[in-house]
Amino acid sequence: MSNKLVLVLNCGSSSLKFAVINANNGDEIISGLAECFNLPDARMKWNISGKKDAAHLPPNSAHAEAISYIVEEIIKNEQGLAEQFVAVGHRVVHGGEKFTESVVITPDVCKSIKECASLAPLHNPAAIMGIKAARAAFPELPQVAVFDTAFHQTMPASAFLYALPYHLYKEKGIRRYGMHGTSHLFVSREAARLLDKPLAETNVITAHLGNGGSVCAVKNGKCVDTSMGMTPLAGLVMGTRCGDIDPSIIEHLVAREGYSPAGVMDILQKQSGLLGISGVSSDFRDIQSACEKGNEQAILARDIFCYRLAKYIAGYAVPLGRIDALVFTGGIGENSAMVRDKVLNLLSVFGYQVDSEKNETTILGKKGTITTENSPTAMVIPTNEEWVIAQDSASLVSA
């Protein structure tokens, strides 16, 4: 089978992650990160087949300069690589209700991505910049958009509607959309494979626990509920995001405590979560080592994190009825035996029993079951969003 290489771009507002992926088998040929856009020390680091390298970009570089560096200085130096490219695949955060699956990018698709920008004001404009720059660099290659929200578009109205006046949904699009869809899709498919069951008959709960975090109920292979909302702020306790709170807290802080609305949003998005409770860090590795030293605020942050997560998981028994597996993924889900152990113990009402040895050793990219033989199944599956983007891109362009 000939290689089908896809350049995968994930554009943030001030950074860009990139990878060259073989869509046939998920092999990562190049991966890298350009960061500090629009600042004097804009820079890039990358990895080609395990060999690391780094460079400064011209001061104040952004998406266009970064993509041109990737093409001219990295890809062109690898003989015969660019000739194997079949597409450029873009991660796009918000597809609103318009996009229920990945699409080949046309001028109309670009227009719709721009229209969804009010729902993701930092991310969607960055994706548009990435699309323009990639089109300039590879005018002959098809470009594909893969949406973080698309997998969640199968949610029923009972799960995606807020109990607000209905016209706010119909006229303004205020509803739950959910994020991390590409990751939930990948690990739910992988779980069905590991369970040796047809996807269309498999019910799983997937917990993507990274810097941001969300849980998803997947019934017969399709999303029926998820914890993030109209934006990524809702649901679980995250690195710096608060997750669910009483919305009246916002009014209270503004009207009675003298905070500005923007100041409150900054608190909810950047000063809350693990960082806000612990005062230690938003990074779970720091929380974990502070817990081991007996830091009480860190222990509290970890416990609130696990308790909220366990409550969400338990709640998803309602739409699923039968749970074939609970899946942990993302940096914390793939590596923190501590979190997995605590969460499964909080869920003992379902009969979960952790296999301590399997739990401790299933880290650093390993996958597998971490519960005992008599327990309902919980497993760890490393996510691979880039491979989904590469697969979708390659199959759309060959169709």
DSSP string, 297-355: HHHHHHHHHHHHHHHHHHHTHHHHSS-SEEEEEHHHHHH-HHHHHHHHHHTGGGT--B-
Q: Is 210 in the site for ligand AMP (CB under 6 A)?
A: yes
Q: Is 295 in the site for ligand AMP (CB under 6 A)?
A: no
The least CB distance from residue 238 to ligand AMP, in Å, is: 9
Round to whole Å and give the CA distance between 104 and 146. 9
Q: Is 116 in the site for ligand AMP (CB under 6 A)?
A: no
Element (H, E) at 392: helix 385-398
Round to whole Å and give the CA distance between 168 and 132. 33
Q: Is 15 in the site for ligand AMP (CB under 6 A)?
A: no
Query: Which one of residues 207, 236, 332, 354 is an interface residue with ligand AMP (CB under 6 A)?
Result: 332
Query: Which backbone phi and psi does 239 adopt, to 5 degrees?
Result: -55, -55
Round to whole Å and give the CA distance between 238 and 55. 32
Round to whole Å and give the CA distance between 5 and 27. 9
| C-beta closer to ligand AMP: residue 335 or 359 | 335
The least CB distance from residue 330 to ligand AMP, in Å, is: 4
Tell me how many degrees the CA angle 393-231-248 measures, rounded to the nearest 5: 175
For residue 221, is it left (φ>0), alpha (ψ between -120 and 50) or beta?
Answer: left
Q: Is 239 in the site for ligand AMP (CB under 6 A)?
A: yes
Neighbouring CB atoms inside 10 A of 317's CB total 16
Q: Is 285 in the site for ligand AMP (CB under 6 A)?
A: yes
Is 196 catalytic? The answer is no
Are the CB atoms for 7 and 138 separated by under 8 Å?
yes
Query: Which one of residues 69, 147, 151, 284 is an interface residue with ligand AMP (CB under 6 A)?
Result: 284
Catalytic residue among 41, 148, 266, 286: 148
Residue at token pair 């952004």: 62
User: Which of 149-157, 193-201, 329-337, 345-353 is the region at the interface with ligand AMP (rule: CB under 6 A)?
Assistant: 329-337
Q: Is 229 in the site for ligand AMP (CB under 6 A)?
A: no
Rg, the chain, Cα only: 21
Q: Is 12 in the site for ligand AMP (CB under 6 A)?
A: no
| C-beta closer to ligand AMP: residue 225 or 385 | 385
| C-beta closer to ligand AMP: residue 130 or 210 | 210
> In the window 16-45, what residues touch ligand AMP (CB under 6 A)?
none
User: Which of 193-201, 217-225, 284-292, 296-304 is the region at the interface with ligand AMP (rule: CB under 6 A)?
Assistant: 284-292
Q: Is 211 in the site for ligand AMP (CB under 6 A)?
A: yes
User: Which of 8-16, 64-72, 142-150, 280-288 is the region at the interface with ligand AMP (rule: CB under 6 A)?
Assistant: 280-288
Work out whether strand 368-369 and strand 378-380 pair parallel, antiparallel, or are unpaired. antiparallel
Query: Which one of residues 331, 359, 369, 389 is an interface residue with ligand AMP (CB under 6 A)?
Result: 331
Element (H, E) at 213: strand 213-219
The least CB distance from residue 239 to ligand AMP, in Å, is: 6
The least CB distance from residue 91 to ligand AMP, in Å, is: 14
Question: Where on the chain is the footprint of ligand AMP (CB under 6 A)?
Answer: 210-211, 239, 283-285, 288, 330-332, 335-336
Catalytic residues: 148
